[in-house]
C-alpha cells in the first residue's frame, strides 16, 4: 500500500459509471419489475452500496476509507435497452474515493446480470470508468468526451 500517513485529510469525492445492455425480453421484464428473482433495481443498488463500503476487501492494495457518503443510482434507457449505473462516494480522508465508486458500479452491474441471467445470459456489461473526482493534491478531474 502507498503510505498516506503524512497526507492531511481533505474532502474528497468521486463519481463513476457503467452500463449493462439486455435483450428485449430481459429489458421488458427488468423495467416492469417482473424478473423471477424480484426487484432487480433495489437489489443492484444495495449490492453496489454494500460492495463500495468493502472496497479494501475487494482490491488488495486499497486503503480502508471511512466513507461519509455512498450512493448508487440506476437509470433505464429503453431506446438502448440498458441500465446505466452511477455511483458517488465522498469522504474526508487522506486518500481518494475513486475505487469505492468504481467497485460500487461494478457490483451493481454484476447484480443486475445475476438477476436477469435466467432470461438473458448474453447481457453485456459495458465500460466502467471514473466520471469525476475532487480533492487531494490533484484537485478536480472530469471525464471529457472523446473526440472523433
Task: Please work out, in degrees rounded to the nearest 5, the angle formed at the alpha carbon of residue 108 by the alpha carbons of 107 and 111.
Answer: 85
Residue pair 86/70 in contact by the 8 Å Cβ criterion: no
Map grid coordinates 474532502 to a residue.
11
Q: Give the Cβ contact number of residue 127 at 10 Å.
A: 7
Catalytic pick from 39, 68, 114, 120?
Answer: 114
Q: Is 123 helix (H, G, I), strand (E, B) or coil?
A: coil
Q: Annotated catalytic, 71?
A: no
* Dist CA 131 CA 115 (whole Å): 26
Active-site amino acid positions: 114
Amino acid at each position: 500500500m502507498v503510505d498516506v500517513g503524512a497526507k492531511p485529510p481533505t474532502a474528497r469525492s468521486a463519481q463513476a459509471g457503467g452500463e449493462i445492455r439486455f435483450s428485449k425480453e430481459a429489458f421488458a421484464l427488468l423495467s416492469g419489475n417482473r424478473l423471477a428473482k424480484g426487484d432487480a433495481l433495489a437489489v443492484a443498488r444495495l449490492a453496489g452500496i454494500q460492495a463500495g463500503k468493502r472496497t479494501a476487501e475487494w482490491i488488495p492494495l486499497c486503503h480502508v476509507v471511512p466513507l461519509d457518503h455512498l450512493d448508487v443510482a440506476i437509470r433505464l434507457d429503453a431506446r438502448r435497452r440498458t441500465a446505466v449505473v452511477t455511483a458517488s462516494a465522498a469522504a474526508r480522508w487522506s486518500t481518494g474515493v475513486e475505487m469505492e465508486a468504481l467497485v460500487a458500479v461494478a457490483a451493481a452491474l454484476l447484480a443486475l446480470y445475476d438477476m436477469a441471467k435466467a432470461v438473458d445470459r448474453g447481457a453485456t456489461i459495458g465500460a466502467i470508468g471514473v466520471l469525476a473526482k475532487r480533492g487531494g493534491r490533484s484537485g478536480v478531474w472530469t471525464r471529457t468526451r472523446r473526440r472523433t
